[in-house]
Amino acid sequence: MESSPSVGVYPLHRSKIIHLVRHAQGIHNVAGEKDHSAYSSEEYFDAQVTALGWQQVDALRKHVKSNGLSKRVDLVIVSPLLRTMQTAVGAFGGEEYTNGVNAPPLMVANVGNSDRPSVSSLNCPPFLAVELCRETMGDHPCDRRRSVTEYQALFPSIDFSLIESDEDVLWKPEPRESPEEVAARGVQFINWLWTRKEKEIAVVSHSGFLHGLLSSFGDDCHTDIKKEMSAHFKNCELRSIVIIDRGMLGNDSSTTNYPGKIPQGIDLPSDLADEKNA
């Protein structure tokens, strides 16, 4: 029987499951849909989630809990901007924070004038802020971040240790990052993800970045799959992908493979064994 070239087979331990999420609706999205020039307004600096956006977050939380995904995720990686951290904490964080619990909250109450209660850091995966997965940078103040010091006060249990500068040194008024630059950053991010020990990771990011990332892959797939992968994300949309190490980038060993032939002994093909016993 001829093998099908459209199907690939890879060792399980050389793969990771990544759940990509775009942030919920932000105030800049509402303004930008009415007038695209609003994206260049300082009024929407580090835009927060809208009331409708929080409904989207609640719906996503219900989804990841009902299908068991929230219990499988080993790590939540988040772009260090207000709307992405609000979305990540709301969807994958613990329950409402209770005073007296011996653990700092993931998010304090009323972040971004949201009227939302604080969120516990208990019984949820760790959260890690990573600048590689930020939105396309330049020109749009909504994509410029606050200082890490300010974020740490709002999101006490998010790990900001991988961010090298307290202030935002990556965003510049101009020029805006090109699609090619965003795509290259996406590839760099995927390669970095492979270095992580976690096997199932949620990434909460932005439409432009996620589009650039996924557009860099899929050229070896059917055109419909390529189109499916690179379509722009809706607010609070989640898509699950698998990344595969095809070039020996990592050295993880399998936790499920079994060496066989234990205890040791002669291991002949059945036809040779029949001849030997005849």
Percent of the chain whose predicted confidence (pLDDT) is above 90: 74
Q: Is residue 3 part of a domain?
A: no
Does residue 60 sit within a domain? yes
Q: Find the catalytic residue in 135, 198, 206, 211.
A: 135
Q: What is the pLDDT of residues 163-220, one digit of tens each?
A: 999 999 999 999 999 999 999 999 999 999 999 999 999 999 999 999 999 999 988 8
Give domain status of residue 7, yes or no.
Answer: no
What's the whole-number average pLDDT of the chain? 90
For residue 10, being part of any structural domain is answered with no
> pTM for the complete prediction?
0.89
Are the C-beta atoms of 126 and 76 separated by less than 8 Å? Answer: yes
| pLDDT exceeds cutoff 80 at 2 | no
In 3-81, beta strands by DSSP E = 15-22, 75-78
Asked whether residue 2 is assigned to any structural domain, the reply reads no
- How many domains does the structure of the chain reveal? 1
Asked if residue 1 is part of any domain, the answer here is: no
Among residues 23, 28, 140, 211, which one is catalytic? 23
Range of weakest confidence among 29-33, 108-112, 216-220, 268-272: 268-272
Q: Is residue 9 part of a domain?
A: no
The vertex-127 CA angle with 125 and 53, nearest 5°, equals: 100
User: Can you read off the two tokens belonging to residue 193?
Assistant: 């993800």
CA distance 271 to 278: 11
pLDDT at position 1:
45
Q: Is residue 5 part of a domain?
A: no
Quote the pLDDT of residue 129. 98
Domain that holds residue 266: 15-277
Looking at residue 46, which CATH number applies to its domain? Answer: 3.40.50.1240
pLDDT in tens, 19-63: 999 999 999 999 999 999 999 999 999 999 999 999 999 999 999
Catalytic residue check, 135: yes
